[in-house]
Amino acid sequence: MSEKARKVLEAVLKNVTPKPVERAKMKRLAEKLENTVEHAAKSAGVKAEVRVEGSFAKDTWLSREMDIDVFMRVPPSIPRSSLGDVCLKIARDATRGYEQIERFAEHPYLEATVDGVSVNIVPCYATKLGEWLSATDRTPFHTDYIKNHLDEKMHSEVRLLKKFMKGAGVYGAEIKIGGFSGYLCELLILRYGTFTKTLEVFAKHKQRTILDIENQYKNRENELGILFEEPFVVVDPVDRTRNVASAVQPQKLYDFIAAAQAFLRSPKKDFFYPSKTTALSTKEVKVILKNRGSSMVFVVFDFAKTVPDVLWGQLYKSQRSLRKLLQLNNFEILRDAAWSDEKDLNTFVFELENCCLGSVVKHLGPPLDKEEECDRFISKYLGNDDTVCGPYLDDDRWVVLIHRRFIDACDLLRAKLEEGGRNAGVADRISQVLKRGFRVLVNEEIDEVYRSNGSFAVFLTEFLQGKPKWLEFQSA
């Protein structure tokens, strides 16, 4: 490690290591929450083992980024169908008087803000190792595993890795982000020992990385390639059938690799503390959109009332479907994204080479050796009102020139979304919102939305800029 890198990491570690006053506050709050949740469960007639889990329990949390995960381990006799409802009521009673938000992973759980700290109260079953009834049943075993295997020095290395990933925008396994979980960061440090070594390994990543820390597939490595298909696989030490890295989307993996390479070339504190984006002025955005040379098409609609994980899953599914719709109609997509403020506004944005196409398109038919298909093709297009020219032979296959049904991407989207877009593959809850109304805007027409929603303005500014944050200071 260079002297420059050492100084950078020392400075960052000093900032991210919790101070004694923070530790004392968190310890008091954790004990208070355990007691109140236990009391609420007892009052509800539910036998529950209450445990603090997550980064606080494992001492890998970051200073000034405090949160506490409280798990209720309940008997398997509680039906799976009612687990969420039963435990949500307990969680609400335990945090009555504080701000509460219902969240959803595999089943509902409660997020509350208590004494300025984000608190997640999560149900799971009190099962034996490997006898899982829900995904969260593994969490107490994860906590115990990390506490038993991670030494004191490694806690600091985990903190560095987490902060670096946050700066690179790849931290968080929730659907919205699709990045690296805290548990995954801990396992990477457990495997490679240090933050720097972890970056060095990923900087050389080629096609596939498979980690089996507990050697659960020793002498059976070929089974791993069959069981897991992802480019990045970390076998869960407490469950050999699970890939801890399954939530990591390929793009987030590539983003991390690029950031690791850049940091190793030129270590800077900015990687951990990227500057906040200042939204462009309305005038600047108008000029950029007018002169950019591409067409920026927006689908703008109201918020879908559902928990964030469900919302983002529905948004991404709908985004993929609309992307395919545009591509099938010959619109060249340069970039696209889905965005939501999770309150009032949802948006899809598609940057196209051109919003409008020529009115005639060349449509390829079957080759001559497919006689039945050729007959059907000729019958369909011969004398058809949409046929401009043909059918005719182009080398060994039939071809026809036809009028496009849609020459404007905005018209295409409006037509397909008018009834909610279900026939275009739009997800159910998004479809329900679209039925109530939506707008398709192009380029400067987004002006009103941009001016009225600051969060959207920041998003669009970053989308227009396009580059990762760490590139801003590479030449500095």
Residue-wise pLDDT for 152-195, tens only, equals: 999 999 999 999 999 999 999 999 999 999 999 999 999 999 99
CATH superfamily of 282-356+407-473: Poly(A) polymerase predicted RNA binding domain (3.30.70.590)
- How far apart CA 321 and CA 427 sit, in angstroms, is 9
- Residue 105 is predicted with a pLDDT of 67
Which residues face 199 on adjacent strands? none
What is the pLDDT, as a whole number, of residue 469? 86
Q: Which residues contact 234 (CB under 8 A, 6 or more apart)?
A: 184, 187, 188, 210, 211, 213, 243, 244, 245
User: How do residues 304-327 score in pLDDT, each as one tens digit?
Assistant: 888 888 899 999 999 999 999 999
Judged against a pLDDT cut of 80, whether residue 127 lies above it is answered with: yes
First to last CA, the chain: 21
Is pLDDT of 196 > 90? yes
pLDDT confidence of residue 474: 67
Domain 150-271: CATH class, spelled out: mainly alpha
Provide the β-strand partners of residue 236.
239
Q: What is the average per-residue pLDDT within 274-295?
A: 93
Query: What is the C-alpha to C-alpha distance for residues 84 and 86, in angstroms, rounded to an integer?
Result: 6
Between 142 and 208, the higher pLDDT residue: 142
C-alpha 371/C-alpha 380 separation (Å) is 14
Q: Lowest mean pLDDT of 12-16, 105-109, 465-469, name the range.
A: 105-109
Which residues of the chain form CATH 3.30.460.10? 20-136
**CB–CB of 158/150 below 8 Å?**
yes
Rounded to 5 degrees, φ, ψ at 277 are -75, 130
pLDDT for 226 equals 84
Helices (H), 121-194: 139-149, 152-168, 182-192
217: buried, middle or exposed (CB in 10 Å: 19+, 13-18, 0-12)?
A: middle
Q: Say how far apart CA 331 and CA 235 lie, in whole Å.
A: 41
- pTM of the full predicted structure? 0.90
Q: Averaged over 442-451, what is the pLDDT?
A: 95
Residue found by looking up tokens 């400067």 in the block: 444
Q: Given this model, what pLDDT does residue 215 score?
A: 92
Residue span(s) of the chain under CATH 1.10.1410.30 come to: 150-271
- Distance of alpha carbon 241 from its chain centroid, rounded? 23
pLDDT by residue (tens digit) across 7-62?
999 999 999 999 999 999 999 999 999 999 999 999 999 999 999 999 999 999 99
Superfamily classification of domain 20-136: Beta Polymerase, domain 2 (3.30.460.10)
pLDDT in the model for residue 426: 94
Cis before residue 391, ω within 30 degrees of 0?
A: yes
CATH number assigned to the domain with residue range 360-403, chosen from the 4 options 2.30.29, 1.10.287, 3.30.70, 3.40.50: 3.30.70
What phi and psi values does residue 318 have, to the nearest 5 degrees? -65, -40
Q: Indicate whether 476 pLDDT > 60.
A: no
Closest CA to 36 of 104, 115, 103, 101: 115
Q: Evaluate whether 336 touches 470 at the Cβ level (below 8 Å).
A: no
pLDDT, residue 23, reads 95
Residues whose CB falls within 8 Å of the CB of residue 370, separated by 6 or more in sequence, listed in order: none
In this structure, the number of other CB atoms found within 10 A of the CB of residue 194 comes to 17
pLDDT band at 206, cuts 50/70/90? Answer: confident
Percent of the chain surpassing pLDDT 70? 99
pLDDT digits (tens, 9 = 90+) for 230-270: 889 999 999 999 999 999 999 999 999 999 999 999 999 99
Taking a C-beta distance cutoff of 8 angstroms, is the pair 37, 48 a contact? Answer: yes
pLDDT the model gives residue 475: 57
